[in-house]
Amino acid sequence: MEIKSGKIGKDAVVLTIKGRFNIEQVESFETALEKCAGSKWVILDLSAMNYIDSSGIGSLIKAVNIAKNEKREIILHSIDPAIMNVFRLAYLDKFFSIRTREELAKLFPGAHF
């Protein structure tokens, strides 16, 4: 897994996750999130993520819960259709804040998603 980071204004960070998100990458993901401390929004671009296992899903859930406690928001976008089906089957599409590129463009004018 590869994680790229970019800022949108002063309050938002985009983390682009590429490749497989499994137990071996959980620590890298959590380290990348720690570097986003202080950002009101963390946007996870999952367009290049082609696999996620239960450890990766658990890490996403943990990140969302921590963010909620800190009055921050994690937004997911551009999810692979096969991964989105897994989220739907587990009702995680209701738990995660999932937005389209168009919705993000309205929330963050001038940013390119």
- Quote the percentage of the chain above a pLDDT of 70: 100
| Tens-place pLDDT, residues 95-105 | 999 999 899 99
Is residue 22 over pLDDT 80?
yes
C-alpha to C-alpha distance for 15 and 71, rounded to whole angstroms: 19
In this prediction, residues 50-58 reach a mean pLDDT of 96
For residue 99, what are the CA distances in angstroms to 16, 31, 79, 94? 15, 24, 10, 12
Q: What is the pLDDT of residue 57?
A: 97
Q: What is the pLDDT of residue 113?
A: 77
Q: What is the pLDDT of residue 50?
A: 95
Is residue 43 over pLDDT 90?
yes
**Residue 69 pLDDT grade (very low, low, confident, very high; cuts 50, 70, 90):** very high
